[in-house]
Amino acid sequence: MALADVLHMPEQPRSVQVEDGFTRVAHGIIEALSLADLSKRHYKVLLVLIRQTYGYNKKSDEISLSQFETKTGVLKPNVSTAIDELIEMNVILRTPGTHAHCLSINKSYPQWTGKAKVDVSMVWGYQNNNPRVIETITGGYQNDNSGVIDSITTIDNSKRQDQKTTPKENLSRSLRERFEIFWAMYPKKKSKTTAEKAFAKRKPDEQLFNDLMAGLGRAMTSEQWQNPTFIPYPASWLTAGGWMDVIQTAYTDAELAVIRAFNEALGERIGAVDEAVFVEARAGGIRAFTAHLKGDAEAWKRYFPAVRDKVDLPPHAGFDYLISPKGFGDVKGRMAVKRNPDGTKAAGEWHATASGIKAKAVEMGIAFSDDEPVPAIALRVRAAIQKSERS
């Protein structure tokens, strides 16, 4: 009988290996968490969150209280309390999700507060104050002395050249922190690696970074960026120096003059424009309108009173319609209509009948033949009226 048939050796579980899967976590997060004065429940919640996010190469994840309870052994009410406390300390960020709250680690550890607040100067360097440390290794099942603890003195190996799990970093630590703040705020999160390279080329110091973020804030309030289609990719925006773009946030004096002329002539009739509420598209429309009238710089001053007195406006007419190319064209076709002070049509209008049109033409000294169509005569009469009004 073989010895193996007599002695039943217990199977030893296989030791875990990196090849079976690993979680990439920035050194700064681990070091900041080790300095934070958190409770056991806090750390349990954080370990699960790190495993469910960074363990799957995700920044955030929807994790239910039931999942936390299963993975930590902590009851759901206590899990909920621990999460709320971590959020209050700004260690965890929470946003609405589809099935549960979406949670993520706040990597900007200088923002942590309360018991989680850490001395930032101790992160990313405090281990180097003691170049030689005691590393305790539990041999486990890898040696013949299962469970024996070996203590050795070794040099800190956090920067070994043979580490293969960390790709080449585009950014230094300080730039990384600033980039993550920028990335969190930028509304179009596309091509992050390319954005990192563009950010690294700029190398923004504190002053430039503040200017950059202020410019981003202005751009996000612009009308153009309200449509995601027109938001540039972050790398393109950084390369082009988008934070230096002049974003108009109020009407110019020239634009206000046009608005006030409209309000005075037609505001009561079809609704005044609130000059305190800036609309970027409206400002552009005003500039296009006045450019169209550049042959007569003062034409816009006569335009709105003429519309009030002579034009039967459609129900949808308003300021934006009247200064648009279509509205301006429509108004020109209606311009000869006289109105009473109350806005109603005046009686006995010359264009109402063929005889009236011809009589008006004679009155204005416009020659015409009996064969000329009446509408053509009317058009020439209207053109003559408009010309006389401008003179």
State the chain's mean pLDDT as an integer: 77
Question: Which of 63-67, 93-97, 218-222, 230-234 bottoms out in mean pLDDT, i.e. has the lowest?
Answer: 218-222
Q: How far is the CA of 67 from the CAs of 58, 159, 201, in angstroms?
A: 17, 35, 42
Helix, strand, or coil (residue 369): coil
SS3 content of the chain, % helix, strand, coil (to 5): 55, 5, 40
pLDDT at 133 over 60: no
Write out the two tokens for 100.
């549960």
Report residue 61's pLDDT band, with 50, 70 and 90 as the boundaries: confident
The pLDDT tens digits of the residues spanning 305-348 come to: 888 877 777 777 888 888 888 888 777 766 655 554 545 555 45
Confidence of residue 391 (pLDDT cuts 50, 70, 90): low
pTM above 0.75, yes or no: no
Crossing angle, helix 40-53 and helix 65-72, to 10 degrees?
110
For range 175-179, the mean pLDDT: 87
Query: How many other β-carbons are positioned within 10 Å of the β-carbon of residue 183?
Result: 15
Residue 86 has pLDDT above 90, yes or no: yes
Amino acid 338: pLDDT = 52
Residue 278, judged by CB atoms within 10 A of its CB (0-12, 13-18, 19+), counts as: middle
pLDDT for the residue 253: 85
